[in-house]
Structure 1
């Protein structure tokens, strides 16, 4: 059944070992770096129970109500509903949250699509996947995904590195496998469980088989240690960091120090072909909510730039309108790919409905590769005050406040405080440490850019262009063969 916010908070108070800034955290839900984003996730759980939202955020099956985000999609309407639900969540939150579960549970559905390959190892492993998908629906956990290993010196063969640089199995027992190593994962410190999977790679060398591992890890299990990067929340006045103070999703180096994984939580291990399958199909569902979040990010850039133009009276200038149109084209390009990927959705091997793969992956390339350009376009529209404006305390201090009120008041309609708020928002969105972190995160969160392009190459149907040119140029069927 759908959980409440209180049940979620109780679930992460399980004695887990969490470190941040050299401090051992006693209560993740209350710590200054985690409290805002944990509260946002708890709010999402509570919204599922409220009459105003329940019909849009949940679905009923066999007399029980479940989270819509955990529902395996089988129809186009399932995807439209998921989109509408994200919209409701973010409108309620007043900002963008990315790693909250709906973008990672889809990786489990991809595993189910590859169950025939897993059956080659052991039919129990494929059954484990189906059972875990049902378990996620039934228990509504905060499910995240562990992807990137530290890897070490990649100029050296994997056999010559410290074996712990990539997660691997060190022992089999009657109870399960024991693993060591580490993974980077956003939100792990305040999640319930993670799908641990192979890192990006070709997975063609059998020497790598010890690292070809897929399983579920409970984030509070013995031997799991969370070493987090410093958080942006709690650093200063929230008036100066309206986004970072509320929506920082803390990244974690999750250390697995001889962690026991019960057999029922193992999907595959020591099998490079399974690792190949996972890496090739991992994002066929999860790329959708990931790209969808960038649509909202585009809305934020458009809104900040347009409000700045309105405040300063520049919105009627052609040059300003052209740059705003560039932002709008970027935004609509993302939306067009998402809409088309649903409209032309494809049936998966397991019978689910996956967004059209070529269109979805092409949309991800557009959204991620053009984001730095669009961020700079928004900076240009907002102007130099984004980087030189004093903080909120200076606006409210007796000595400096009067001068700032004078020079930041634009007219009778736009007072200094509104101008300060917009510039603080725009700085946090485009120019702050948090903005730089989010930009880097977008470039690598689902995979690096070359992997995005590889996904497009694998999913695009080249047969149409090949056949068209073969016919138009009069090329020989006997030489080239008929494209398939």
Structure 2
């Protein structure tokens, strides 16, 4: 079933306990803090039904139409299709939206890959995993996740199971998640932690939570969308996603919603593979952000004529290098995609995680570079009201109009650039990009786990003429094994030549 936008809106009018600035929200679909994002999600749902976008946003599997972004990836072509569909959604939104579902539903595909391993650890929950992976596709739910929490290990609000019942487990604690207030369900998993020698823990719990579950409370931060006029803050007013602290006040999780429980080895297995799919959508957002940085910088420098100067062209080239580095990693991750243990098609893991780290680590410098190219007008441009008021508009028109630029267009560009680079919203988005899929050390750890260290090792061993005692030759493969199979003249052992 593919829901319409109206059906989505009605699904989140379920009496959930949502609070903004301490006040209870009566209807998340109409509250100013959520209204614009609910509208984007509504329009996204309707794209799957509209004649001009239906084929772009859906796929037919087993005779049933499915939302493409939720559908399991079985072939390289599925990833090209997902990339096109995500770009179409971001075009519709007119900016960057992180939580539209394509990023978070990928964690369910990781669970699909882990099902057999988790079954070996505790066979009670593997059928639940398969059922929920299927439901995420067939029910067309807005699925998010809950990972990090504000409480440290051992404190009262660190999420944990407080008791078991015949109906399920009762959990207490807190988790953060963006867009939870207007989502349908979330995959709640343990915070990244060091389990030490412990084999079991009440905090080693992963489950699917219906957002209308009794006892669940949503404490949302103040919205940037409600702070300032849309004319002066065109991004924040439309695209501020509601970061939420989820409070689990003795929430009952039915046994059929539990995906793993108590075994720390299960929690570590899930954490190690959690982003093998969802990182792709995350990096694709950075590509869109890079395009926005380039567009702002290019328009600002062309208006002033500075784009003809070599030092400015060098700075623009640095932005282009940043953009194309992200693009290359995304493209190569699809081109050299790999089979997962459960038979799904994964983006090339080493390239994907390396691309994510490159995009995130260089982002602050690229934002500052764009700020330099835009100049001081980011901070000095008067607001929209001044351009309308009779006593001030005539002076501003004379100051800011020139060549092919009207004063209105010049103000609009600087308002957009300010919201992208300099505003509270801009600072929040930068921090979000840096930490959304884990702190930098965790992202570097993913690079370490997935890079083919054996290739460079074999290369230097052979070039240096080291003896066989250094390591077993059969365990090494010269060069990048994923790339090598595309141009090797001799098929690797056990692989038939094509």
TM-score range, shorter chain: over 0.9
Structure 1: how far apart are the matches of 2:285 and 2:306? 29
Q: CA deviation at 1:208?
A: 6.6
Contact 2:33 2:225 in 1 (8 A): yes
Q: Tell me the distance in 1 between the aligned counterparts of 2:365 and 2:122.
A: 48
Contact 1:57 1:85 in 2 (8 A): yes
Matches within 5 A, 1:218-229: 218-229=210-221
Structure 1 match to 2:466: 475
Q: How many residue pairs align between the two structures?
A: 475
Aligned to 1:443: 434
| C-alpha distance in structure 2 between counterparts of 1:410 and 1:299, whole Å | 26
1:457 aligns with 2:448: yes
Q: Is 1:196 matched with 2:188?
A: yes
For the Cα contact (< 8 Å) 1:112–1:126, is it kept in 2?
A: no
Structural mapping, 1:386-405, within 5 Å: 386-405=378-397
Instruction: Tell me which residue corresponds to 1:339.
Output: 331
1:131 corresponds to? 131
SS at match of 1:114: helix
- 8 Å contact kept, 1:228–1:251: yes
Partner of 2:56: 56
- Superimposed CA distance per residue, residues 161-199 of structure 1 (whole angstroms, 9 cap, x where no aligned partner): 4232x2111111111111000000000001000000111
- Secondary structure, aligned partner of 1:215: strand
- Report the equivalent of 1:310: 302
Corresponding residue of 2:102: 102
Give the RMSD, CA atoms, in angstroms. Answer: 1.2
Q: Deviation string for 1:18-71 (max 9, x for gaps)? A: 011121100001000110011101110011100000001001123321100111
TM-score (norm. length: structure 2): 0.93
Match of 1:381 in 2: 373
Which secondary structure state, in structure 2, belongs to the residue aligned with residue 270 of structure 1? Answer: strand
8 Å Cα contact 1:312/1:410 also seen in 2 = no
Q: Which runs of 5+ in 2 are unaligned?
A: 477-498
Report what 1:8 is aligned to.
Answer: 8
Question: 1:303-337 CA deviation, whole Å, 9 max, x = no partner?
Answer: 01111112112221111111111111100100000
Q: Is this contact kept in 1: 2:151–2:174, CA < 8 A? A: no
* Partner Cα separation in structure 1 for residue 156 and residue 378 of structure 2: 47
Measured against aligned partners, the alpha-carbon deviations of 1:245-288 in whole angstroms (never above 9, x if no partner) come to: 00001100000001011111100111100111111110000000
In structure 1, the partner of 2:241 is 249
SS of match in other structure, 2:357: helix
What's the offset of the Cα at 1:215? 0.3
User: Which residue is equivalent to 2:81?
Assistant: 81
Unaligned runs of 5+ in 1: 153-157
1:113 paired residue number: 113
1:169 and 1:180 in contact (8 A); partners too: yes
TM-score, normalised relative to structure 1: 0.96
Determine helix, strand or coil for the equivalent of 2:170: strand
Verify the 8 A CA contact 1:224 1:259 in the aligned structure 2: yes
Query: Does structure 2 retain, via aligned residues, the 8 Å contact 1:368–1:443?
Result: yes
Deviations for 1:388-445, whole angstroms, at most 9, x for unmatched residues?
A: 111111111122222211111132x101100000000000000100000000000110
8 Å Cα contact 1:311/1:410 also seen in 2: no
Match of 1:421 among 392, 412, 434: 412
Q: Could you tell me whether the CA contact under 8 Å between 2:115 and 2:130 is conserved in 1? A: no
Q: What is the distance in 2 between the residues matched to 1:205 and 1:438?
A: 37
Q: Specify the alignment match of 2:140 in structure 1.
A: 140
- Choose from 342, 356, 359 the match for 1:350: 342
Alpha-carbon distance in 2 for matches of 1:471, 1:283 = 35
Rounded Cα–Cα distance in structure 1 between residues aligned with 2:116 and 2:51: 42
Q: Distance in 2 between matches of 1:10 and 1:407?
A: 49
8 A Cα contact 2:20 2:222, kept in partner: yes
Q: 2:106–2:278: 8 Å Cα contact kept in structure 1? A: yes
SS at match of 2:259: strand
- Matched with 1:155 is none
Alignment partner, residue 493 of structure 2: none
Paired residues of 1:204 and 1:272 also in contact (CA < 8 A): no
What are the superposed Cα offsets for residues 133-167 of structure 1, whole Å, 9 maximum, x if unpaired? 11111110000010001133xxxxx4xx4232x21
Deviation at 1:463, TM superposition (A): 0.5
Deviation at 1:243, TM superposition (A): 0.4
What is the Cα deviation at residue 481 of structure 1? Answer: 4.4
1:209 Cα offset (Å): 1.4
In structure 1, the residue matched to 2:491 is none
